[in-house]
């Protein structure tokens, strides 16, 4: 294998001279797609304002004005049918086999006491089961995303993260996407305010938005049906595929199921109640919120 001492070096090698990936991490996607990319790849503003913006807000909680060209292209790659893959037996095998092949020494239940720069390298002192010290070429500091608060979700506000990790976060603006899982049915009354008015009572399986609430939009980036609790798997798949266009014959009802909502801030109970109706069987519906950078 090849080791790289910087991200730019790695991106340059990965591109193989075919593209300037480092440059793509420095410019917004809108600038790239409308002026800086090869002419045959350029996109209209209408396409970016509708479909592309919906995709970037769903995947990253950002718009083409704030998201880099590199991240946007990665986001778009996952929207192509047949371009998402999984490892037979579970994707966890990738991490497990990589750890095994690395022959790394793993010290569990060990507290890091100090990390000190010494002659271009790093000295790390620990206590616990992995008590000791060592000198290394590089150190990676990982920050947990969950735990530490009554809700179980870490305070990932920009101010708090900078307070915790100092200079590591000062140069970049922090973006957080929250995932809320809700069991119930999308509220038809609310959807009618967005222009969904189907005489057969169809509710879309996927909704993507293009504007933040602060700019006249709604409180969420996207809503997607995960699975229908009162539908067969085939009915659920048919329903999701029919989010645009006529309903297939197999779909005869609105799905009562589990939905995933992406947003830039935690959804209040009042907002969830406005977006969803409780399950048809009368059971208690719940939401689970998690944060991710």
Q: What percent of the chain has pLDDT over 90?
A: 1
Query: 143 versus 102: which is more confidently predicted?
Result: 102
**What is the predicted pLDDT for the residue at 199?**
44
CA-based radius of gyration for the chain: 23
Q: Higher-confidence residue: 239 or 77?
A: 77
Which has more confidence, 246 or 217? 217
| Per-residue pLDDT at 203 exceeds 70 | no
**Is the pTM here over 0.85, yes or no?**
no
Q: What is the pLDDT of residue 244?
A: 47
The Cα–Cα gap between 43 and 182 comes to 35
pLDDT exceeds cutoff 50 at 188: yes
Residue 168 pLDDT grade (very low, low, confident, very high; cuts 50, 70, 90): very low
**DSSP H helical segments within 103-252, as ranges?**
158-165, 188-193, 233-241
**pLDDT-based confidence at residue 251 (cuts at 50, 70, 90):** low
Q: Residues near 260 by Cβ (< 8 Å), separated by ≥ 6?
A: 179, 180, 181, 223, 224, 226
* CB-count burial class (<10 Å; 0-12, 13-18, 19+) for 109: exposed
- Which range among 64-73, 103-112, 171-180, 186-195 shows the weakest confidence by mean pLDDT? 171-180
Q: What is the mean pLDDT of the chain?
A: 75
Query: What is the reported pLDDT for 147?
Result: 47
Number of H helices, E strands in the chain: 11, 9
Are 57 and 209 within 8 A, CB to CB? Answer: yes
222 vs 150, residue with greater confidence: 222
Specify the residue for token string 């509220």: 187
Alpha carbon separation from 91 to 38, 95, 186 (Å, rounded):
35, 8, 31
Lowest mean pLDDT among 69-83, 106-120, 194-208: 194-208
Q: What is the pLDDT of residues 82-130, one digit of tens each?
A: 666 778 888 889 888 888 888 888 887 888 888 888 888 999 998 887 6
Q: Are the C-beta atoms of 63 and 52 separated by less than 8 Å? A: no
Q: How far apart are CA 25 and CA 283, in angstroms?
A: 47
Question: Which residues, 6+ apart, have CB-to-CB distance to 223 below 8 Å?
Answer: 186, 206, 207, 259, 260, 261, 262, 275
Give the E-state strand segments of 91-229 in sequence order: 110-118, 121-128, 132-136, 177-186, 206-208, 222-228
Confidence of residue 257 (pLDDT cuts 50, 70, 90): confident
The pLDDT confidence band at residue 293, using thresholds 50, 70 and 90, is very low
pLDDT at position 169 is 45
The answer to whether 184 touches 279, Cβ cutoff 8 Å, is: yes
pLDDT tens for residues 3-60? 787 888 888 888 776 678 888 888 889 998 888 888 888 888 888 888 888 888 887 8
Structure tokens at 155: 């305070």
How far is the C-alpha of 54 from the C-alpha of 34, rounded, in Å?
17
Predicted confidence at residue 241, as pLDDT, reads 62
User: In angstroms, what CA-CA distances link 288 with 125, 165, 230, 262?
Assistant: 38, 27, 21, 12
With contact defined as beta carbons under 8 Å apart, do 292 and 59 qualify?
no
Distance CA 126, CA 17 (A): 42
Whether pLDDT at 166 is above 70 = no
Q: What is the pLDDT of residue 9?
A: 85
- In our burial notation (b when 16+ CB lie closer than 10 A, e otherwise), range 84-106 reads eeeeeeeeeeeeeeeeeeeeeee
Question: Which of 37-41, 72-76, 168-172 shows the lowest mean pLDDT across its residues?
Answer: 168-172
Edge-to-edge strand list for the sheet holding 132-136? 110-118, 121-128, 132-136
Q: Which range has the worst mean pLDDT, 55-64, 72-81, 250-259, 270-279?
A: 250-259
């Amino acid at each position: 294998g090849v080791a790289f001492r910087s991200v730019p070096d790695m991106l340059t090698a990965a591109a193989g001279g075919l593209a300037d990936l480092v440059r793509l991490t420095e410019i917004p996607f809108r600038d790239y797609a409308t002026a800086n990319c090869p002419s045959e790849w350029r996109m209209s503003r209408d396409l970016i304002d509708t479909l592309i913006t919906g995709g970037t807000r769903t995947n990253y909680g950002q718009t083409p004005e704030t998201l880099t060209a590199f991240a946007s292209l990665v986001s778009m790659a996952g929207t192509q049918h047949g371009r998402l893959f999984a490892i037979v037996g579970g994707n966890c095998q990738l991490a497990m086999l990589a750890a095994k092949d690395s022959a790394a020494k793993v010290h569990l239940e060990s507290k890091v006491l100090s990390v000190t720069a010494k002659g271009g390298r790093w000295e790390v002192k620990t206590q616990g089961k992995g008590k000791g010290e060592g000198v290394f070429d590089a150190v990676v500091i990982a920050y947990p995303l969950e735990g530490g608060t009554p809700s179980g979700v870490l305070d990932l506000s920009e101010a708090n993260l900078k307070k915790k990790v100092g200079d590591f976060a000062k140069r970049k603006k922090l973006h957080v996407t929250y995932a809320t899982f809700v069991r119930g049915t999308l509220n038809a009354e609310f959807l009618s305010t967005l222009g969904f008015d189907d005489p057969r009572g169809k509710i879309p399986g996927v909704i993507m938005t293009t504007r933040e609430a602060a700019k006249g939009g709604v409180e969420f980036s996207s809503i997607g049906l995960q699975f229908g609790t009162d539908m067969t798997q085939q009915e659920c798949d048919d329903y999701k595929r029919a989010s645009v266009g006529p309903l297939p014959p197999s779909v005869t009802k609105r799905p009562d199921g589990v939905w995933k909502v992406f947003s830039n801030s935690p959804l209040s109970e009042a907002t969830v109640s406005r977006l969803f109706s409780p399950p048809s069987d009368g059971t208690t519906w719940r939401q689970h919120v998690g944060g991710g950078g």
